[in-house]
Structure 1
Amino acid sequence: MTLPAASTLHTGYFTEGLAADPELAAAITGELARQRDGIELIASENIVSRLVLEAQGSVLTNKTVEGLPYARYYGGAAFADVIEALAVERATRLFGCRFANVQPHSGSNANAGVFLGLLGLGDTILSMDTAAGGHISHGHPATLTGRDYHIVRYGVNRTSERIEIADVRALAHTHRPRLIVAGGSAYPPALDFAGLRAVADEVGALFMVDMAHFAGLVATGLYPHPFPHAHVVTTTTYKSLRGARGGLVLWNDEALSDRINYGIFPGVQGSVMMHAVAGKAACLGEALKPEFRAYNEAVLANAQALARTLKAAGVRLVSGGTDCGLMLADLTSLGITGDIAAKALEKAGLAVNKNLIPFDPRPPEAPSGLRLSSNAGTARGFGAAEFEAIGRWIVEVLKAPDDAGLLARVHDEVRALCRRFPIY
């Protein structure tokens, strides 16, 4: 039998890279240059290792699977099963729990899957108000969660800007939630998991912790651990875990397993993104190494250095400081809003995000605060001295956001610092 001649329809399909798409290549090259020559201070971002980049950019992009490892709906899953099982084992070992689902495409999907699996439509959820630092996926009116469940919101004390367990207890006894959620996107103090679980037990509620912004610190014993207090824990795998973009769900009670797993698939998402799961396996493996604790120790030390520098210059920090890698700066006394400040800082090579502060009189589009983080800079290798310099640059820019010469000079200094700590 004569085999047909090789087709010419796919000439270059398996050999040409980004050079075949100059417009896309230029944008990606530009993003690499931005990351190399700028300082990332956004709390939702970090810098992954070459290992994670290679795992995510692997041939696993081609593989579609549905279901759990070794119980797939599709064939050809032998290696996909090994990779996902490895990610599950590493997640449970890292966080000291019995079960993990590593499939969520994001932290919001992880949360939505838990809600769908454990709750009924219209059930009451008691979660932190976004205006006080909570996350939108916990019940913001613009989300499916906010539409499909009855959301009751707790906030912070006006004076301390911290959660008061007594206030949460009062709301819980009044509204009898089915689920109480702890964790947020802009809450710097450590959370009282034992106190919140006690409230949940008083009203017969489940207790969930979203630890996306401090998971790395939890994994290394540098932040209170949500287990054994939480019934279920969710997190992203980037941010403080310094890894692939995506989410995890963790729990200990086997009776919850089917409900959580079905909540993720087919509940809120379809087939597994195996290239992302490979990236998660890679970063979880890195997090099990001793170097990861040293990284997180530096995250805390650097956050304190940045906080000290800002406070010494008269910038007020919400709740007085931070117990993790992120902090929230109140710009009110400087006469500048967060949107203007963020744009000026970006021109100076410093990427931050505007943010509401508790009891903010201003709208989300032009809030009174900035959210800052030491995670990415620490991943790059910065120490306390570098974060003190970053703090001084931030203050300079905040005091003269329209001074083009100042912004250019700071950007030059930022670029010089970054080139001492190269990435990729």
Structure 2
Amino acid sequence: MEPRSTIAPWASTAAQERLSTLEDLHTENTTVQVVESVSQALTDYQQRIDHGIVLYAGTNMLSPNVEALHDTSLSTRPALGWPGEKVQTAVDEIEHLEVITTRQVAQSLHGTYAEVRYLSATMANLAAYIAFTEPGDTIAVLSPEAGGHASHQQILGTAGIRGLTVEHLPYSPSALDIDAGEIDDFVRRARPKLIVVGGSVTLFPHHLGPIREAADQVGAVLLYDASHTAGLIAAGHYQDPLAEGADVVTFSTYKTYAGPAGGAAVTNSPEYAERLADAAYPTMLSNYDPARLGPLAVAAREAVEQSPSWAAPTIEYASELAANLNALGLIVVGRRLGYTRSHQCVIDAQDIGGGPAAVRRLERDRIYAGACRLPWQSPGTPPEGIRLGTQEFVRRGAGFDTIADLARLVHQSLTTTGTEPLTATRKLRGRLSTDLWGRPAPAPTPEWGTV
């Protein structure tokens, strides 16, 4: 194929087609033109989110306090090193923020120590690889089909960057969890230095007892990636990984945690905490973004206090949505187990064209979700599931009286080709008059009534 994109001539055919269109559109050559184009993109984005239904499991909206305390001027202030020995001067207030935030984040996940400087959970996981392994070591993780995140993998993942060999943990598709009957033999054979559980698709808590026992047999560190469930854990509505045997918890600070973008790690071990801190600075980071700190501290406390409550309603909404979707004839994962105990529910889309195509049909109707892999699909094949997350829709004000209508809307969007689902999206979204904090919903605009 003759390259069509000047930005990424190596990209896929689909990407080059889109890039070529955008490159032809954007030929700005003055500051004024750039400002206008960026402003328009931001306005269009806000319209898309304000007047659609966001069911993507990896996103969220900020509370008023978290949003108000994000001072972007802090982002350009380097503050390297521990308080009391900073490389820069005039960063006393950032030292205050570091202490406040570190304590709040540690407490929220029921730990003693926290590292909050990571710019993503992927970086937090890489820090754990640096802290607890050497190149050439073996780690044990969930496969992508079992919900393991890309950062856990050897190929195209940060585990591979560290030079680690990755073995996939034995997994039971029927239990949607580690196969407790096989974990001992697996660990004795693979002898991993690090075991990683948790990840991208997290419908149910892990049974950590057998994994902890197996890790102890070979002296492995047990890491729990709570990127998707950290906010539910902080609220007391999901399992407590550190109390149940995990050595370290890493997580994204947005998603259910509902703070600014970034990553963190929490532990009760001072030795492990020191290693994770050293991996952050000076190994992986020079400067970081101090503007995250204040909002993150508030998000941590809000997740614990639950005023207003959003964690319990989020889980209940996901469970009821899954049951309604199943009743309408969609194949929902985990029916025998009660569908979900998190913010996620997963639809098996094998019979409706697969995950990516199904997600595009939902997008056509202003419903935003994500594709995911399923435990029983073949490795390396395109995702065959649809992952829905209810956390943002609940925080935007969706009550339980919307569940049946949302389920019908999702079902219609996935199984019909008419225009009714888009109209129904507008009507359902219009029923959310205020969010959980009483902020009024944006007024609808005519242009968002058509595709």
TM-score by length of structure 2 reads: 0.84
Which position in structure 2 is the counterpart of 1:142?
Answer: 156
Task: Indicate which of 76, 79, 95 corresponds to 2:90.
Answer: 76
CA distance in 1, matches of 2:33, 2:48: 20
**Equivalent residue for 2:118?**
104
SS of the residue 1:67 aligns to: coil
CA RMSD of aligned residues (A): 2.1
Aligned to 2:364: 347
Name the structure 2 match of 1:200: 215
Instruction: Give the alignment partner of residue 381 of structure 1, picking from 397, 400, 404.
Output: 397
Identify if the C-alpha distance between structure 1 residues 393 and 86 changes in structure 2 by more than 3 Å, giving closer, same or farther.
Answer: same
**Change in 2 beyond 3 A, CA 1:348/1:80:** same
Query: 2:204 aligned to 183, 189, 209, which one?
Result: 189
Report what 1:116 is aligned to.
130
The answer on whether the counterparts of 1:97 and 1:251 sit within 8 Å (CA) in structure 2 is: yes
**249-258 or 75-84, larger mean C-alpha shift:** 249-258
- Identify unmatched segments of 5+ residues in structure 2: 1-31, 443-451
Q: 1:340 to 1:418 in 2, by over 3 A?
A: farther
- The Cα of 1:247 is off from its aligned counterpart by 0.9
Letter in 2 for 1:24: V
What one-letter code is carried by the residue in structure 2 that aligns with 1:340?
A: A
Residue matched to 1:9: none
Matched with 2:256 is 240
Structure 1 residues 278-289: aligned runs within 5 Å: 278-289=294-305
Given that 1:161 and 1:318 are in contact with CA atoms closer than 8 Å, whether structure 2 keeps it comes out as no
Q: 1:69 to 1:388 in 2, by over 3 A?
A: farther
Q: Identify the residue that residue 414 of structure 2 maps to in structure 1.
A: 398
**Distance in 2 (alpha carbons) for counterparts of 1:89 and 1:187:** 27
Per-residue CA deviations over 1:111-155 (Å, capped at 9, x if unaligned) read 111110221111111010112211111124102312411111125
- Say which SS state the counterpart of residue 101 (structure 2) adopts: helix
> How far apart, in 2, do the equivalents of 1:36 and 1:92 lie?
33
Q: Contact between 1:87 and 1:281, CA under 8 Å: does it hold in 2?
A: yes
Question: For residue 156 of structure 1, what is the amino acid of its counterpart?
Answer: Y
Distance between the aligned counterparts of 2:264 and 2:145, measured in 1? Answer: 25
User: Normalising to structure 1: TM-score of the pair?
Assistant: 0.89
Is 1:220 the equivalent of 2:235?
yes
Amino acid paired to 2:363: E
What's the secondary structure of 1:110's corresponding residue?
Answer: helix
- Bigger relative contact order, structure 1 or 2, given CA contacts below 8 A and separation 6+? 1
- SS of 2:293's equivalent in the other structure is helix
Secondary structure of 1:190's match?
coil
Asked if the contact 2:405/2:428 (under 8 Å) is kept, the reply is no
| Higher mean displacement: 371-380 or 382-391 | 382-391
Contact 1:114–1:264 (CA<8 Å) still a contact in 2?
Answer: no
Distance 1:35 1:57 in 2: 23
Map Cα deviations across residues 218-266 of structure 1 (whole Å, 9 max, x no partner): 1122111011311111111111111111111111111223211111122
More off after superposition, 236-245 vs 316-325: 316-325
1:317 positional shift: 2.0
CA contact 1:349–1:415 (8 Å) conserved in 2: no
Partner Cα separation in structure 1 for residue 82 and residue 365 of structure 2? 47
Tell me the alpha carbon deviations over residues 280-329 of structure 1, each in whole angstroms, 9 at most, x when there is no partner: 1221132232416x211111111111111111112222232111111211
Aligned to 2:284: 268
Q: Which amino acid aligns with 2:35?
A: D
CA contact (8 A) 2:350 2:384 kept: yes
Q: Work out whether 1:30 is the aligned partner of 2:44.
A: yes
Superposed CA deviations along residues 80-123 of structure 1, whole A, max 9, x for unmatched, are 00011110111122222111111010010111111102211111
> In structure 1, what residue type is equivalent to 2:119?
H
Match for 2:349: what amino acid?
Answer: L
Alpha-carbon separation, structure 1, partners of 2:137 and 2:270: 23
Cα distance, 1:163–1:243 mapped onto 2, change above 3 Å: same
Match of 1:322 among 340, 345, 352: 340
**Mind listing any 5+ residue stretches in structure 1 that lack a counterpart?**
1-17
2:376 partner SS: coil
Q: What secondary structure sits across from 1:141 in the alignment?
A: coil
Q: Matched residue pairs, number? A: 403
Q: Could you tell me which amino acid in structure 2 is paired with residue 203 of structure 1?
A: V
CA distance in 2, matches of 1:190, 1:256: 24
Residue 95 of structure 1 is matched in structure 2 by 109
Q: Secondary structure at the match of 1:113?
A: helix
* 1:263 to 1:211, Cα distance in 2 relative to 1, 3 A: same
Q: Distance in 1 between matches of 2:267 and 2:149?
A: 21
Which residue number corresponds to residue 146 of structure 2?
132
Contact 1:36/1:418 (CA < 8 Å) preserved in 2?
no
The verdict on how the C-alpha distance between 1:36 and 1:155 changes in structure 2, with shifts beyond 3 A counting, is farther
